[in-house]
């Protein structure tokens, strides 16, 4: 067993202690781990184990966060794909309205700002929520090799994906990820990150 494999046990053992010269050692033997398959002194410390898991998740967030360039590419590509999606959505919405309430079709055809904005916002929320909930990735994220993950390292739940989408509607939010860590308000408020898959 390698030192790293032994340390996987030592890091969550109640009998560990830290030596400034060597690192983690056994408090019972006062030596570094030297077991081959299992340690007879190993006692799992659930608090240490939980802290280690949280630390590993935080490292995944920080170390693997998508760069500014990828975030900008995601934004620009998703703008294009959103407008395509919105056009398709409007087309099918028109067909549904024509079937269900033919007299209301004219509302979609008229220059009505309230209807236009409402349809645009619904299409926007559907585009982002649908893709990020089902796959953790919008079409742009497939192209750039990135993915949305939650605090547990999994693709977001429906509620989290919807919250991310709603937060994108905050004025000037699109520029919030241009900060030092490439994390936007929609990431922070929904407790998610966009990470590299490779």
Mean pLDDT over the full length of the chain: 86
Q: What is the mean pLDDT of residues 167-190?
A: 87
Q: What phi and psi, each to the nearest 5 degrees, are found at residue 34? A: -135, 20
Q: Which pLDDT band, with edges at 50, 70 and 90, does 124 fall under?
A: very high
Q: What is the mean pLDDT of residues 180-198?
A: 87
pLDDT of residue 132: 95
Angle between helices 113-134 and 68-100 (to 10 degrees): 120
Q: Pick the more confident residue, 64 or 173.
A: 173
Query: In the chain, where do the E strands start and end?
Result: 16-19, 23-26, 146-150, 192-196
pLDDT of residue 23: 81
Q: Which pLDDT band, with edges at 50, 70 and 90, does 101 fall under?
A: confident
Q: What is the mean pLDDT of residues 89-112?
A: 83
Task: Specify whether the CB–CB gap between 148 and 132 falls below 8 A.
Answer: yes
Structure-token pair, residue 140: 């742009």
pLDDT of residue 87: 94
What are the distances in angstroms from CA 79 to CA 82, 84, 128?
A: 5, 9, 11
Q: What is the DSSP string of 108-142?
A: HHS--HHHHHHHHHHHHHHHHHHHHHHTS--HHHH
pLDDT of residue 197: 83
Say whether 38 sits in a helix, a strand or coil. coil
pLDDT of residue 115: 82
Task: Specify whether the CB–CB gap between 85 and 147 falls below 8 A.
Answer: no
Instruction: Kindly report which listed range (43-57, 78-92, 110-124, 132-146) carries the lowest average pLDDT score.
Output: 43-57
In angstroms, rounded to a whole number, what is the distance separating the alpha carbons of residues 163 and 167?
Answer: 6
């Amino acid at each position: 067993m390698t030192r790293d494999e032994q340390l996987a046990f030592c890091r969550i053992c109640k009998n560990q202690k830290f030596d400034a010269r060597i690192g983690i050692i056994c408090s019972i033997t006062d030596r570094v781990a030297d077991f081959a398959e299992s340690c007879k002194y190993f006692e799992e410390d659930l608090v240490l184990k939980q802290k280690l898991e949280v630390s590993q998740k935080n490292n995944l967030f920080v170390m693997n966060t998508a760069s500014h360039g990828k975030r900008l590419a995601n934004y620009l590509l998703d703008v294009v794909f959103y407008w395509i999606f919105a056009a398709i959505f409007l087309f099918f919405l028109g067909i549904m309205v024509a079937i269900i309430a033919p007299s209301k079709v004219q509302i979609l055809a008229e220059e009505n700002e309230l209807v236009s904005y409402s349809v645009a916002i619904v299409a926007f929320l559907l585009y982002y929520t649908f893709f990020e909930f089902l796959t953790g990735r919008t079409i742009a994220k497939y192209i750039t090799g990135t993915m949305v993950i939650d605090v547990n390292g999994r693709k977001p739940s429906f509620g989290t994906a919807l919250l991310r989408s709603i937060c994108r509607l905050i004025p000037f939010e699109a520029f919030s990820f241009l900060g030092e860590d490439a994390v936007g308000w929609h990431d922070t408020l929904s407790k998610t990150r966009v990470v590299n898959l490779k």
